[in-house]
Amino acid sequence: MADVEELKRKAGIEACKFVKSGMKVGLGTGSTVKHTVVELGRRMADEGLEIVGVPTSLATEKLAKEVGIKLVELSEIDGLDIVIDGADEYDPNFQLIKGGGAALLREKIVAQESSAMVVVADDRKRVETLGAFPLPIEVTPFSHEATVRALSRLLDCRVNIRMAGDGPVITDNGNMIADAHTGLKIVDPVSAEADILLIAGVVQVGLFNNMCDAVVLAGTNGVETVINPNGRL
């Protein structure tokens, strides 16, 4: 376990090489990207790196403030130069499943406003077909049972509201997370995303399509960076 954590730390730090002074940086959420946030704070203190950040969750906002990263509201600036974030799965076309940390709505807003996206992850997240990881879908609390039924019919799989103890997980936006246990059948994630978003109770879905430009992977052989040949980097 210690070795896995050390590799994740190295991958998080490696991703910082894409960040240059003067950049506006989206700061993702998760166990690997937290190391990126800490390293960016160190570079600001020790190397004079000058950046501003936009966090994708309250947890990341707290960490960024602790390490000295200046934060701004996304609405105050004209887009971001890059976002560094985690992922729960990515396929050969660099399509992603995200939302295991229940921050997918803010993460997607930030990703859409970014000129490039770098994902940091361990190599267990690399898959041939998306869907082994339950697909997170943020839904409104209002009549969420009806939304879950509609999702189950659409995706032909079990869909359940994510729980924490005796109650549902509540996102930073006051919504719930429905996890769709699709299995390995998301062969067309672009169409799946469009179909899911047609359901009225759905706020956002954790399919991040045509956004990822590079993946920094921590694996048993060390850290490798895989560049999307059709990406923006």
- The residues, ordered by sequence, that sit 6+ positions from 33 with a Cβ below 8 Å of its Cβ are 12, 15, 27, 60, 84, 85, 86, 120
User: For residues 28 and 64, is the Cβ–Cβ distance under 8 A?
Assistant: no
Catalytic residues: 107
Tokens encoding 185: 């059948």
Cα distances from 208 to residues 56, 95, 116, in angstroms, run 14, 6, 13
User: For residues 169 and 162, is the Cβ–Cβ distance under 8 A?
Assistant: yes
> What's the distance, Cα to Cα, between the start and end of the chain in Å?
32
Residue 101 to residue 177: CA distance in whole angstroms: 10
The H-assigned helical ranges of the chain are 2-14, 33-47, 58-66, 104-112, 144-155, 189-197
Which DSSP letter does residue 17 get? G
User: For residues 94 and 70, is the Cβ–Cβ distance under 8 A?
Assistant: no
